[in-house]
Structure 1
Amino acid sequence: MSNKKRILSAALLLIAAAFLLSYAFGREDREKKQLSIIFISKTIDDSDFWTQLIDGARMAAEEYEVKFSVCAPETEDDYVRQNELIEQAILEKPDAIVLTPSSFTETTPMAEKIVENGIRLFLLDSEIDTKVAECMISTDNIKAGRLQGEFVKEILRPDSRIAVVAHVKNSSTAMEREQGLREGLGSDTEKIADVVFCDSNYDKAYQLMLQILAEHPDVDVVVGLNEYSAVGAARAIVDKGLAGKISFVGFDSSLEEIKMLEGGIFRGMVIQNPFKMGYLGVETAVKALNGEKVPDQIDSGSVLITRENMYLDENQEMLFPFKGE
């Protein structure tokens, strides 16, 4: 074989090899599996908190091009149904599950089962009683409760009595916010006349508030520990003609709560950033799945809002998050 033919054959072999390598790598890229994340929420309803949180999670999923789905029980306290949804999600074998646990204790066995099945677990909003998740993304609820307590302490009279309307008993958020509230109150904790739980139901919070007013007519300060408890209890106070006579400190930032603050029904409220929380939940899961090191705890932030500071630019951004960013 002549040198020219040998050179031509070698060149053709190199071209063929390059083509095969190019095709192989291209095929690998085409067949690269899209990340899949299932978000199991406490509930899906029309409350501003859950709407904003899920919107934030969806936006992150779209930006990172993740296969994404959301499921939840009808009510926040239905850990039995949530555990069933976790079982179903495990069978779908997603790359990760982002979970807002309904119960601090009853959700734990299923959270452990997620990890045992080789699925990455990230907790959002609420904790469980064991450290099996890679990261917890939430409001620092003890700090948020402490903000409430310190503010309440400032507005107390010597003979004041306090009622606390909380949301779901044995949920980490309710326990931690009450702990923070008591820490903020300090020695004035003894002024708490009653603590009730509305199961994140507006109507139940309303009825519980009426019951408190009947049983503790000396109550002149009320603290709500989430949107449902704060709004439901405040509606009862308004209907009884006690708005302005009873000092109310709320939690969360629904449009109704903002109007209550503007109207003087609330003296103040501690607000979270649910949109940011939801976004960070999915973003953190994606980063971890792509091999990045993520912290084991992320605080999505909280701030005390009053009528005096609600119009500051930074507080307006918290009250009305821009979803397009």
Structure 2
Amino acid sequence: MKSHKKEIIIIAVLMAALLVIFTGLLTPEATQTQECSMIYIPKIKDDANDFWTELISGCQMAAEEYNSELEIMAPAKEEDIEEQNQLLREAIEKKPDAILFSPSSMSASDELLKEAKDQGIRITYIDSYTEEEIQDLTVATDNVEAGRMLGKYARTLLNKDSKIAIVSHVKGVSTAVEREQGFREGLGDYADNIVDVVYCNSLYEKSYELTNELMEKYPDLELIAGMNEYSAVGVGRAVCDAQAKDQIAVVGVDCSQEAINLMEMGVYKGIIVQKAFRMGYMAVEETIHMYNGDAVEKNIDSGCELVTPENMYDSDIERLIFPFN
């Protein structure tokens, strides 16, 4: 009797397993992801800039893992809005399933993006966005919070009379606006000590020149904040060359090998590191899910961390600042 019961249980288990297998075979759409053709237009493709290199690498890895097509079309300069719009026109003509876009302007690309949506092309913003909500999906750092974290930390390096300057990247772009806003919020009443805000158009050399001008104009500066990799590294180079690292604290946003070297040298006192690879990977992954009809969040924060000389070699931080090691 016990033998028969055992046989019945085994047969029942086998039948249940076969049912699961056959159900999967009969409904492949429930288990398979449909391929998605995508074009990504960043602000720039610059092999010397770790943020954009990591972000694009994340996009490409996700596209490869999901067996989907991804083409990168990038302007030569981050501030070249007209070239970015020309690439956007070309992308629309190719009729991909989705366009991933990092706008260099809050409004200059709106009409083209609306045209793409009218043609049924999904729009995903990466890193930055436009004033009008045209996109289906945004994956970016919470730049107000990133600026706020930097401002709160910078405040610990200062006193109520310290003079502060900001070297930002591209005037009017959402990342510059929000990081400055957050930085001022983090500084609190010390924000009244900001004596100047200048823009380097995401050029290392321009940031270097502007920093030298700021140091000459305000000889008692105690802190300069750079709002992206180009601006922060340019500031760091200038302060280092002027042998002013003991007088002027440098803080910034974005990480590179040069930024880490400047921190080890005592020039950088703190940097906000975006999770660029994660941002790119998630943007492509969520776009594919959206294309397949899955529910996705419209606004996704890819995260960031404050890195200082005290924590830069903690295991979690080390993995973030050396992502390919």
Same fold (TM over 0.5): yes
Q: Aligned-pair distance for 1:63?
A: 0.4
Decide which of 295, 298, 307 is 1:296's aligned counterpart. Answer: 298
Contact 2:138 2:298 in 1 (8 A): yes
Q: Aligned-pair distance for 1:110?
A: 1.8
Q: Which of structure 1's runs of 4+ aligned residues deviate more than 4 A?
A: none
1:62 aligned partner: 64
Question: 2: distance between equivalents of 1:158 and 1:119?
Answer: 52
1:104 aligned partner: 106
Q: State the SS of the aligned residue for 1:155.
A: coil
Q: Aligned-pair distance for 1:34?
A: 4.1
Contact 2:235 2:250 in 1 (8 A): no
Unaligned stretches of 5+ in structure 2?
Answer: 1-25
Does residue 263 of structure 1 match 2:265? yes
Encode CA deviations 1:79-131: one digit per residue, 9 max, x unaligned. Answer: 11111111111110000011011111212222222211210000000010111
Q: How does 1:14-25 map to 2 (within 5 A)?
A: none
Q: State the SS of the aligned residue for 2:79.
A: coil
Question: 1: distance between equivalents of 2:123 and 2:58?
Answer: 18
Q: State the SS of the aligned residue for 1:74.
A: coil
Q: Aligned-pair distance for 1:67?
A: 1.3
Decide which of 110, 130, 133 is 1:131's aligned counterpart. Answer: 133
2:228 aligned partner: 226
Q: Aligned-pair distance for 1:157?
A: 2.1
Mean Cα displacement is larger for which, 113-122 or 166-175?
113-122
Does residue 174 of structure 1 match 2:176? yes
Decide which of 282, 294, 300 is 2:284's aligned counterpart. Answer: 282
Decide which of 235, 238, 245 is 2:237's aligned counterpart. Answer: 235
Question: 2: distance between equivalents of 1:124 and 1:214?
Answer: 37
Amino acid at match of 1:212: L
Question: 2: distance between equivalents of 1:237 and 1:249?
Answer: 12
Contact 2:35 2:66 in 1 (8 A): no
Encode CA deviations 1:32-74: one digit per residue, 9 max, x unaligned. Answer: 9842100111110121011111000000010001111000111
Amino acid at match of 1:240: A
Q: Aligned-pair distance for 1:287?
A: 0.5
Question: 1: distance between equivalents of 2:85 and 2:173?
Answer: 15
Encode CA deviations 1:222-252: one digit per residue, 9 max, x unaligned. Answer: 1111000000111111111112221111211
1:35 aligned partner: 36
Unaligned stretches of 5+ in structure 1?
Answer: 1-24
Question: 1: distance between equivalents of 2:105 and 2:43?
Answer: 9
Question: 2: distance between equivalents of 1:300 and 1:34?
Answer: 24
Higher Cα Rg: structure 1 or 2? Answer: 1
Question: 2: distance between equivalents of 1:262 and 1:113?
Answer: 48
Does residue 142 of structure 1 match 2:147? no
Q: State the SS of the aligned residue for 2:156.
A: helix
Amino acid at match of 2:46: D
Encode CA deviations 1:246-269: one digit per residue, 9 max, x unaligned. Answer: 111121110000111122111111
Amino acid at match of 2:41: I
Question: 1: distance between equivalents of 2:97 and 2:194?
Answer: 46
Q: State the SS of the aligned residue for 1:303.
A: strand
TM-score (norm 1): 0.88
Question: 2: distance between equivalents of 1:224 and 1:209?
Answer: 10
Question: 1: distance between equivalents of 2:35 and 2:228?
Answer: 36
1:8 aligned partner: none
Mean Cα displacement is larger for which, 207-216 or 154-163?
154-163
RMSD between aligned alpha carbons?
1.6
Question: 2: distance between equivalents of 1:287 and 1:153?
Answer: 42
Q: State the SS of the aligned residue for 1:185.
A: helix
1:12 aligned partner: none
1:95 aligned partner: 97
Number of paired residues? Answer: 294
Question: 1: distance between equivalents of 2:34 and 2:274?
Answer: 35
Mean Cα displacement is larger for which, 239-248 or 61-70?
239-248
Mean Cα displacement is larger for which, 239-248 or 54-63?
239-248
Question: 2: distance between equivalents of 1:106 and 1:44?
Answer: 20
1:186 aligned partner: 188
Q: State the SS of the aligned residue for 2:252.
A: strand
Does residue 305 of structure 1 match 2:295? no
Encode CA deviations 1:187-226: one digit per residue, 9 max, x unaligned. Answer: 1111001100000000000000011011111111111110
